[in-house]
Chains A and B, each alone.
Chain A
Amino acid sequence: MSNRENFLAILGLFSSASAVIPLLIWLLKYKDTNLLFKPILTLVITNFAVEFYSVVTVINFELNNMAVFHFFTVIEFLLINFFYRNFFAKFLNPNIFLVIGFVFILIAFIDYEINGLKSLNNFSVIIECLILTTYSLVLFYFVIKNLQYENLLDEPVFWINSAVLFYFAGNLLFFTFINYVLAENREEHNFLWSTTHTFFNITYNVFLAISIWKARRK
């Protein structure tokens, strides 16, 4: 392995390792969590488990673990969808989120039927990014409209929403075009994966950790 490849591999490892930060905060600070944050805690645990599995399988066996990631995409979407459903319960009909959840499962199923479970970044990921980015922007709109929080930086909802916006909006272009890069040049693909995705993934995990910290303090 060249120095460049080593450097990129370490960055990728950092990205996976960052999943432990929100989990640690949760373990250190956990006491009681209200319904709103339960899906996020489940997401943090699942995320850590998937990252751990991916590191172990890639390093030790160099297996194609994409099936787990595809399955995780659906779980991740449903949990975040559930979080937004809980938040918007006062403003919107919760059945909307139920319908969106079912539609997404259907999309994921069609996606995996067409592209298979071993391919990278299927279109369901792009749809997930688009829906969650929309949720996050709508949440900010409601926050501004209702002025229900005195200090936004102290609100776990703000940090979770920012995490979702950063990760899913930030990676939208990456997930959309990365397959084209992979088809042409694997090195460029690895470079983008270890830089762009790593940056947003670490930001995502740090923001989730802050949200758990703030939720606990509240």
Chain B
Amino acid sequence: MESKTEINFTLLIILGTMGVFILISAIISFVLLYQKRMLANKKDRSEMERSHQKQLLDNSLEIAEYERQKIAANLHDEIGIILSVLKLNLSRIKKNAGKPEAIDEIISESNEQIDSSIEIVRQIHRDIMPPTLMKAGFIKGMKELCRQLSVSSGLQIRFNSDDESVAMEKIRELQLYRLTKEVLNNIVRHAKPRFVEINIYVKENRLNLLILHNGSGISTEEIKEKAKISKGLGLKSILTRSELLNAKIDFSILGAETSQVKIEMGLSE
């Protein structure tokens, strides 16, 4: 009986120690493999993040370039032509030196051209720095945008907001304004609605902007797919601006005649 007990203790130690050895080896191998895998994942994630940031930067630069081209085109096509006409009018005045009636007509024509060019310059300025937004804040700026869009498109646009103003940095207000303007332009151009309603409210320090319309709807996934293949900058600009604002933008079809675009973002970064 005694001998059996001794063998059992020796066996217990040997087998137990072997078990512990295997366990320790497994723990160390696990630590090494896990660490290696986690580091690889971390590297992949930072690589993806870097590539995403680069994409975002490229898109921002592309949008900025597009805006510059738009301003250049406006200046060249509108102001440039008017200035050429005015130059021509000056030559005409010289030619008609002895004809006061003709000169009066040319001057009156030139005045109209100058008024028109002043209006174009104002329009360009409004596009770059919307004066109501800059002076009176985001809510009033949005109200003014709705009014202008309603006049230019003939659409019925209703604007609702719980607040008269929201506490946001000017730069964020301007970015959100441009994003909303781009979304509204797209809705007017592609969804062909008869009615648009905009609701703005602040909840838990987050601004919610809802655009409801009765035109043809689209989902966020479709927008993302279209942005990938589209050569235009409209959709890309919407997605890039929303990312730069760290805003969540959601396109959804609520019913047969109702679609919604929801923009949600923090009031501060």
Contacts and interface: CB of A to CB of B under 8 A. Distances in A.
Interface string B30-42: 0110111011001
A57 B233 CA distance: 87
B151 interface: no
A215 interface: no
Contact of A149 (B16, B23, B35): B35
Interface stretch (B6-14, B178-186, B200-208, B223-231): B6-14
Binding site secondary structure of chain B: helix
B35 A169 contact: no
Interface in B1-30: 2, 5-6, 9-10, 12-14, 16-17, 20-21, 23-24, 27-28
Contacts of B6: 181, 184-185, 188
Contacts of A144: 31, 34-35, 38
Nearest to B35: A152
B17 A181 contact: no
Nearest to A192: B13
Interface string A78-102: 0000000000000000000000000
Interface in A147-191: 147, 149-150, 152-153, 162, 165-166, 169-174, 177-178, 180-181, 184-185, 188, 191
B148 to A, nearest CB: 53
B15 to A, nearest CB: 9
Binding site secondary structure of chain A: helix
A139 to B, nearest CB: 10
A137 B27 contact: yes
A40 to B, nearest CB: 18
Contacts of A52: none
A58 interface: no
A173 B17 contact: yes
B17 A196 contact: yes
Contacts of A169: 20, 23-24
A191 B17 CA distance: 14
A143 interface: yes
Contacts of B16: 173
Given A170-B17, A181-B9, A184-B2, A152 B24 contact: no
Given A169-B24, A170-B21, A147 B9 contact: no
A140 interface: yes
B98 to A, nearest CB: 90
Interface residues of B, number: 24
A152 B12 CA distance: 34
Contacts of A170: 17, 20-21, 24
B27 A140 contact: yes
Contact of A166 (B10, B14, B24): B24
A85 B14 CA distance: 33
B39 A147 contact: yes
Question: Max chain B CB contacts within 10 Å: which of A137, A150, A173, A191?
Answer: A173
A188 B31 contact: no
Contacts of B42: 147
Nearest to B19: A173
Interface in B43-93: none
Nearest to A182: B9
A147 B27 contact: no
Nearest to B23: A169
A196 B34 contact: no
Nearest to B39: A147
A150 B12 CA distance: 40
Nearest to B16: A173
Given A162-B28, A192-B14, A196-B17, A150 B9 contact: no
A177 B35 contact: no
Given A144-B34, A180-B9, A181-B10, A174 B17 contact: yes
28 contacts: A137-B27, A140-B27, A144-B31, A144-B35, A147-B39, A149-B35, A153-B32, A162-B28, A165-B27, A165-B28, A166-B21, A169-B20, A169-B23, A169-B24, A170-B20, A173-B12, A174-B17, A184-B2, A184-B5, A185-B6, A188-B6, A188-B10, A191-B10, A192-B10, A192-B13, A192-B14, A196-B13, A196-B14
Interface of A: 137, 140, 143-144, 147, 149-150, 152-153, 162, 165-166, 169-174, 177-178, 180-181, 184-185, 188, 191-192, 196
